[in-house]
Amino acid sequence: MHTDPNQNGAGPEHTRHPEVAFEKRDLGARGILLFFAILFISGAAIHLVVWGVYEAFVNVGAAHQPPASPMVPKRPSPTPGVLQNAGSVNIELFPEPRLQSDEPTDMNRFLWQEGQLLEAKPWRDETGAIHIPIAQAMQIVAERGLPARQARQQEATPQPGSQR
C-alpha cells in the first residue's frame, strides 16, 4: 500500500474524506513544563502551610499545658533510638493494661483460675448468691430438669365486644 495519492492512478479525490478531521498541531513542551512547574510550586506551598499549622498546634499545646506538680518525681526521658520502644524504656512505667508478653502462660493461668472457680466448694458471695461446683450444678439440672414457664390458660368465655 502506498502513501502517495498520485501513484497507481489514485488521485486526490479518492483520498479526501470531509467527515474525518484531526488536530493539525501538536502540544508544545512549554505547556507541559508550565504544568509541572505549577504543580511543584503548589506542592511546596502546601507543604509549608501544613508545616506552619503543625508548628502552631505544637506551640498552642505547649502554652496550654498545665505546669507539672512539684511532687512528681523527676525521671529522665528515654533517649530515642532506632526503635522507640527499645530496651532502654522501662516497661513498668507504662500504665495498665499492658500488651501480653507471654500469651500461652497467661491463657493457662486464666484457665486454671476459671477451673478453680468452677470446681470450688459451695460459697456465698456478698450479694447473697450461692455458688456451687459445676459438676454438682449439672447433676441437679439432670435430676430436676430446667425450669419452664407455665403456659397461660385461655379463657373459655369470649371477651365482651370481641367476635369469633
Residue 146, domain member (yes or no): no
Whole-model pTM: value is 0.32
Residue 45, domain member (yes or no): yes
- Does the CA dihedral 86-90-95-98 come out positive or negative? positive
Which of the 8 DSSP states describes residue 157?
Answer: S
Q: Residue 40's pLDDT band (boundaries 50, 70, 90)?
A: very high
In the three-class reduction of DSSP (H, G, I as helix; E, B as strand; rest coil), residue 164 is classed as coil
Residue 24, domain member (yes or no): no
Residue 55, domain member (yes or no): yes
pLDDT at site 157? 55
Residue 127, domain member (yes or no): no
Residue 36, domain member (yes or no): yes
Residue 113, domain member (yes or no): no
Residue 37, domain member (yes or no): yes
Q: Among 34-43, 71-80, 98-107, 152-161, which range has the highest average pLDDT?
A: 34-43
Count of domains observed in the chain: 1
d(CA 17, CA 35): 36
